[in-house]
Amino acid sequence: MKVWRNLFCLAVAITIVFSCVLQTTVSAYTQDDYNKVTNEINDLRKQISEYESQASALAAKANTISNQIAILQNQQATLKKQIDLKQAEHDQLVIEIETVQNRINENSDTVGFIIAQFYYNDSVSTIERLASSENFSTFVDEEVKLTSISDTLSDIIEENKNLKEELTVKKKNAELILKDLSTQKQQLAASEAEQAKLLAETRSSEAEYQKLKSDANGQKAELEKKQQAILADLARQYGGTVTPGDPGKGGYPYSSVCPKQKDAYSDRWGMYICECVSYTAWKVYQTYGYMPYWGGRGNANQWLNNARAAGYLVTTEPKPGYVGISLSGPYGHAVWVEWINGNQVHVSQYNWTRGEYSEMTVNKAMFTYIYFGK
């Protein structure tokens, strides 16, 4: 029984050890894990770019609508002034018509008096009118007055009549213009309301795309953290440890703006600053006095073929001053070889951890190497 018990315990121990080994193996990242995360990051970058493009287009549209609303508001202000002016003109015409009407009424009273005088004159002889006057001079004045009024009264009545008709037409026209201006104002108000609604909808859509962009950026940041963890784990698998390294950051001229302005603009070789290829290109230039320009083809995984085509040595045996190239991931990675110790190679680099300078010691098999010297 004791033997069986020992065998059982041994079997359990082997199972536990095997389980731990299996878990360790499973927990270790592979290059496929890195590629998968990198692809997800690239997909998110495309989505972010699309969201940004949509948001920018909507922002431009919103600005256009805002300008249209401003134009409509100016037109509304102009119309209001025209309406106020036309209303004042209309009110003045009403007053003038009333004045003319009063004059007509006054003339009507005069007409009644003249008719009465003519009726009296027709029934009373001239001698009788003269006899009833205070004196001859008064008689003459009254006769002249009646004759003058009689001559001009019809002209005055005709003039007042024409003036009233003219003012009535002007009043009617003013009312029509006022009505037309009011209609235009209502139409402009409706257009402004419609544009305001469209602006609100556009701003809302823009905000939605901005939120989608923000969410995607958050997802990308998390994936980039995972990507760096995978890279660090892969480095450990190759026997490497990542350190801050040289405080001078390899003499890289853009170090003061990294990683804040990562990919903000290109270096003299058409490669984005704070990237691994820009740093290694600078180290080649710093060491050998020149660095070939490959038309801005800056991805690290292009360097090996570019170097072979240009006649540079490509090898699996590194030396200090060589550029190391890894083909892992969609873009690859470039490093600068600082020193060698057996199968261990110590390298400096940028963007192993998000646009920062770092150094690490890894197994030389991690890279293929390019010698740019002559």
Do 341 and 213 lie in one domain? The reply is: no
pLDDT of residue 180: 80
Amino acid 112: pLDDT = 64
226 found inside a domain? no
What is residue 335's predicted lDDT score, i.e. its pLDDT? Answer: 96
At residue 74, the pLDDT reads 85
pLDDT for res 13: 42
Say whether both 215 and 285 belong to one domain.
Answer: no
**Angle formed at CA 145 by CA 140 and CA 147, multiple of 5 degrees:** 95
pLDDT value of position 117: 60
Q: For position 90, which CATH number holds?
A: 1.10.287.1490
pLDDT, averaged per 10 consecutive residues of the chain (374 residues), comes to: 42 40 49 75 87 90 88 82 79 79 71 61 60 65 66 72 79 79 81 85 89 90 80 66 83 88 82 92 94 80 93 95 88 93 92 84 90 90
Domain coverage including residue 113: 45-221
Instruction: Determine, yes or no, domain membership for 25.
Output: no
Domains held by the chain: number: 2
2 domain-assigned: no
| Domain membership flag for residue 267 | yes
| Structure-block tokens of residue 283 | 């180290």
Domain co-membership, 53 together with 161: yes
Specify the pLDDT at position 6: 45
Residue 202 forms part of a structural domain: yes
- What pLDDT is attached to residue 280? 96
| Residue after which a domain boundary falls, among 221, 249, 271 | 221
Question: What order of strands is seen across the sheet that includes strand 333-341?
Answer: 242-243, 357-363, 344-350, 333-341, 323-326, 368-371, 313-315
Distance (Å, rounded) from C-alpha 123 to C-alpha 99? 36
- Rounded to two decimals, what is the model's pTM? 0.47
Contact 252, 350 (CB under 8 A): yes
